[in-house]
Amino acid sequence: MLLSNAWWWVVVACGLVMVLGGLVKGSLGVGLPLVAVPLLSLLIPAPQAMGMLVVPVLASNLLQAWQGGRLGFAIRRFGPLMLAQLAATLLAVYWSQQLSAKGLNIAIAMTVISAVIIMAIQPSGDIPERHQRWIGPVVGAIGGALGGLSSVTGPIIIIYLMALRLGRDEFVGSISIIYFFGAVPMYAAMLWWDRFGWAEVGWSCLGLLPVYLGMKLGGLLRGRMSEEIFRRALFGFLVLMSVMLIFK
């Protein structure tokens, strides 16, 4: 059955959101779900919004993981973190089945606000090697819990990896592998427990094109606009979207 005129406008709006999410990722290197999930949740139900990003998120992280070529290094160094992330993700997805649509909106909003605060503060410092054995799994568990609730894996993992003073190639390769191995069970669990269906997965395939377009535009913007100004505008925008979700 053909979509009604109203639904065509929703489809177009969702496509523009995908472009914006790709633009942020192209500009800052991260931020696709952070931007797209709360915005999509203002247009369509939150579970569908999460499903709409399945293919773009997995494809972008898989590509970066492949290009990074750090699979062995990431598994050896961050295996406990990824296992804790896996367990927390599955538990959070299972528990959040009981949340209403309003509850999911609030969970997404609070996750985004927390992410903005962490990224704005940008905590720094070295983590002694003797503490990494227990801090890594704690960070993985927190990131997995946030992802299972809202499909937005907070920047806490980014902050943790930055504190380890990894080289550029090790950082990019490791973060993409951690995100990919976190996203696969997260989306699989959401699909299994009917958070969203195969229809959303199908629509998410169409999201590859606008996300790619946004990433290309973001790459051009990165060279023309101060990253600090862009971050401040993005943070203010995300907080506004979060408040709108809470009162939706």
pLDDT in tens, 141-186: 999 998 999 888 767 888 888 788 777 677 777 888 898 999 999 9
Residue 10 lies in a domain: no
Alpha helices, DSSP H, located in 5-155: 5-28, 32-43, 46-51, 54-68, 71-95, 101-121, 129-150
In total, how many domains does the chain have?
Answer: 1
Instruction: Show the domain range for 165.
Output: 16-246
Distance CA 23, CA 129 (A): 36
- Predicted confidence at residue 201, as pLDDT, reads 93
Residue 191 lies in a domain: yes
When pLDDT is averaged across residues 203-222 and rounded to a whole number, the result is 88
Q: Which residues contact 133 (CB under 8 A, 6 or more apart)?
A: 80
Residue 2 lies in a domain: no
| 230 or 19, greater pLDDT | 19
pLDDT at 113 over 60: yes
Query: pLDDT tens for residues 49-82?
Result: 999 999 999 998 887 778 767 788 888 889 999 9
- Predicted confidence at residue 58, as pLDDT, reads 92
Place of tokens 């999911």: 104
Positive or negative torsion for Cα 145, 146, 151, 154? negative
- What percent of the chain is modeled with pLDDT above 90? 37
C-alpha count within 13 angstroms, C-beta hemisphere, residue 37? 31
Written as six digits, the tokens of 184 are: 């696969």
Residue 195 lies in a domain: yes
Distance CA 206, CA 102 (A): 27
pLDDT at 216 over 90: no
Q: For the whole prediction, is pTM greater than 0.95?
A: no
Residue 165 lies in a domain: yes
The mean predicted confidence, pLDDT, of the chain is 84
Task: Give CA separation, 232 vs 18, 49, 229, in Å.
Answer: 20, 25, 5
Task: Give CA separation, 26 vs 37, 128, 161, in Å.
Answer: 17, 32, 20
Residue 82 lies in a domain: yes
Asked if 63 and 208 count as a contact pair (C-beta separation under 8 A), the reply is no
Residue 107 lies in a domain: yes
When pLDDT is averaged across residues 9-23 and rounded to a whole number, the result is 91
- Predicted confidence at residue 152, as pLDDT, reads 84
